[in-house]
Amino acid sequence: MAAAFPVSAYGEAIARHKRFVDATKEWRKAEDPVRRKALDAERKALSGESHEQYLDGLRRNIARAMQAEFGFRERLTRFWADHFTVGRRAAILSDAISSYVDEAIRPNLAGDFATLLKAAVTHVAMLLYLQQASSAGPNSLYATKRPDRGLNENLAREVLELHTLGVEADYSQSDVRQLAELFTGMSFEPGEGFRFRRPFVEPGEETVLGRSYEGGLADIHAALDDLARHPATARHLARKLAVHFVDDTPDPALVDHVAAAYAASGGDLTATYAALLEHPSAWAPERRKVRQPFDFMAAALRALDASGSDLVALPRGKTHGQLLGPVALMGQSWERPGGPDGLPEEAAAWVTPQGMAARIQWAMRAPQALTGKLPDPRVFVETALGGTASADLTFAAGAAATRAEGIGLVLASPEFQRR
Contacts of another protein in 262-291 (CB under 8 A): 277, 282-288
For another protein, the closer of residues 80 and 245 by Cβ is: 245
Q: How far apart are CA 128 and CA 161, in angstroms?
A: 18
Among 151, 220, 237, 238, binds another protein (CB under 8 A): 151
For another protein, the closer of residues 26 and 415 by Cβ is: 415
Q: What residue type is 196 in one-letter code?
A: F
Q: Does 24 bind another protein (CB under 8 A)?
A: no
Q: Which H or E run contains 238? A: helix 231-245
For another protein, the closer of residues 107 and 338 by Cβ is: 338
Among 107, 172, 204, 280, binds another protein (CB under 8 A): 172
Least Å distance, CB 31 to another protein, is 25
CA angle 153, 154, 156 (to 5 degrees): 70
Least Å distance, CB 148 to another protein, is 6
Least Å distance, CB 262 to another protein, is 19
For another protein, the closer of residues 115 and 144 by Cβ is: 144
Binding residues for another protein, rule CB under 8 A, total 97
Q: Does 347 bind another protein (CB under 8 A)?
A: yes
Least Å distance, CB 391 to another protein, is 10
Binding window for another protein (CB under 8 A); candidates: 164-172, 187-195, 208-216, 260-268: 164-172
Q: How far apart are CA 178 and CA 48, in angstroms?
A: 41
For another protein, the closer of residues 14 and 155 by Cβ is: 155
Binding window for another protein (CB under 8 A); candidates: 11-19, 24-32, 215-223, 378-386: 378-386
Q: How far apart are CA 411 and CA 296, in angstroms?
A: 9
Phi (first) and psi of residue 41, to 5 degrees: -65, -40
Number of residues that make up the chain: 419
Phi (first) and psi of residue 221, to 5 degrees: -60, -40
Binding to another protein (CB under 8 A): which residues in 54-73? 69-72
Q: Does 309 bind another protein (CB under 8 A)?
A: no
Q: How far apart are CA 164 and CA 244, in angstroms?
A: 16
Tell me the per-residue interface mask from 288 to 307 with another protein, x by CB under 8 A, - otherwise: x----------x--xx-x--
Q: Is 16 exposed, middle or buried (0-12, 13-18, 19+ CB in 10 A)?
A: buried
For another protein, the closer of residues 226 and 341 by Cβ is: 341
Least Å distance, CB 223 to another protein, is 19
Among 349, 371, 374, 378, binds another protein (CB under 8 A): 349
Q: Which of 215, 217, 220 is nearest to 204 (CA)?
A: 215
Least Å distance, CB 101 to another protein, is 19
**10 Å Cβ neighbour count for 165?**
22
Q: How far apart are CA 180 and CA 155, in angstroms?
A: 7
For another protein, the closer of residues 221 and 320 by Cβ is: 320
CB 92, CB 26: distance < 8 Å: no
Q: Is 313 exposed, middle or buried (0-12, 13-18, 19+ CB in 10 A)?
A: exposed
The H helix count followed by the E strand count for the chain is 23, 4
Phi (first) and psi of residue 398, to 5 degrees: -80, -25
Q: Does 199 bind another protein (CB under 8 A)?
A: no
Among 364, 366, 370, 407, binds another protein (CB under 8 A): 364
For another protein, the closer of residues 62 and 385 by Cβ is: 385
> Is the Cα torsion angle 153, 159, 165, 167 positive or negative in sign?
positive
For another protein, the closer of residues 284 and 313 by Cβ is: 284
Least Å distance, CB 46 to another protein, is 11
For another protein, the closer of residues 103 and 293 by Cβ is: 293
Binding window for another protein (CB under 8 A); candidates: 23-31, 148-156, 204-212, 260-268: 148-156
DSSP 126-163: HHHHTT-TT---TTSHHHHH-TT-----HHHHHIIIII
Q: What beta strand segments (E) does 197-355 contain?
A: 206-208, 211-213
Q: Does 94 bind another protein (CB under 8 A)?
A: no
Look at strands 193-196 and 206-208 and give their pairing.
unpaired
- The residues, ordered by sequence, that sit 6+ positions from 5 with a Cβ below 8 Å of its Cβ are 60, 61, 63, 64, 308, 312
For another protein, the closer of residues 47 and 207 by Cβ is: 47
Least Å distance, CB 88 to another protein, is 8
